[in-house]
Amino acid sequence: MEKKNTFLNIIFAILVAIVAVIYMYPIIMILLNSFKTESAISTNTVFELPNAKSFIGLQNFVTAITKQGFLQSFFYSVFITVTSLIAILICCSMCAYFITRIRSKVSSVLYYLFVFSMVVPFQMVMFTLAQTADTLKLNTPYNIFVIYLGFGAGLAVFMFAGFMKSVPIEVEEAAMIDGCNPLQTFFLIVLPILKPTIVSVGILEAMWLWNDYLLPTLVLDIKKYRTIPMLIQYFRGSFGKVEMGPMMASIVLTVLPIVVVYVFAQKYIIKGMTSGAVKG
């Protein structure tokens, strides 16, 4: 029986390795081609490793950074990600605190509305959203965080509420006896306890905010404001020819920050998920 289990584990490990290679293959190809000349990318040598003839060094990265306003787009992406993330973490954690501590029909309905918002396809609301954003003047990088707060609230409230159900209410009662008001109790007592879930939600939401292409394209004026995902499609030369080298380099520069964050913080995602997996 033990030998059978060992054999099955080996087969499973091989299958997982194959799937991992399949998923990693496009990323590896983009990374290799970001160091090649334009002619090498556009020919059959696209699948070959860079050699003395096709290797161009960091030229594609220099072109990607200096052309098409990459640094400005990078600023917009960072600003949108940071402001939206702060709004989601603060507002959704407070909302989850209210839902789990104030037991009423209103809080129950509110909770299920947040959960329902997670399964509503974005395509159902995107055209109405674009019109509403224009009407309310939420079509700049400086206030688009309001829209992201709405779309990111479903998952955030769900995870925060799940964790809050495991927090003993006696801790909050002791703080109130010591003279804390509800706001002080939340920010001084509850919020530090929520740290595992805050980190987990923050990483998941940041990955979505940083890589999002469709919502900024629908809401923002693409002639004035371009985030990093929007900028990638504008690496075109004369007669509509796509500059594949700089485009590949820009994709690498776009993916690299969020990959680094995810690699170093993935253990917090698992910890935050399991912390909220309680019955209640």
Residue 1 pLDDT: 56
- The number of angstroms, rounded, from the C-alpha of 115 to the middle of its chain's C-alpha atoms is 19
State which residues of the chain have pLDDT below 50.
238-239, 276-280
pLDDT at residue number 238: 47
Tokens 């990088």 label which residue?
Answer: 141
Position 277 scores a pLDDT of 47
- The pLDDT assigned to 278 comes to 46
What is the per-residue pLDDT for 21?
85
Angle between helix 105-117 and 70-101 (nearest 10): 150
Where are the chain's structural domains? 61-275
CA 51, CA 161: separation in Å to the nearest integer? Answer: 54
CATH 3.40.50.10490 describes domain 61-275 = no
Task: Give me 121's structure tokens.
Answer: 């396809």
For residue 244, the model assigns a pLDDT of 78
How far lies 17's CA from each of 8, 9, 14, 30, 241, in Å? 14, 12, 5, 20, 37
Q: How far apart are CA 75 and CA 141, in angstroms?
A: 10
Q: What pLDDT score was predicted for residue 92? A: 94
Strand partners, 242: 236
Cβ atoms within 10 A of the Cβ of 154, count?
18
Neighbours of 145 (CB within 10 A): 22
pLDDT of residue 280: 42
Spatial separation of the C-alpha atoms in residues 261 and 258, rounded to whole Å: 5
How many C-beta atoms lie closer than 10 Å to residue 237's C-beta? 11
Residue 179 is predicted with a pLDDT of: 84
Q: In 3D, which of 204, 101, 107, 95 has the Cα closest to residue 160?
A: 95
pLDDT of residue 173: 83
What span, in angstroms and rounded, lies between the C-alpha atoms of 189 and 177?
A: 13
Total-model pTM: 0.82
Q: What is the DSSP string of 145-165?
A: HHHHHHHHHHHHHHHHHHHHT
What confidence score (pLDDT) does residue 144 get?
A: 93
What's the CA gap between 172 and 176, in Å, rounded? 6
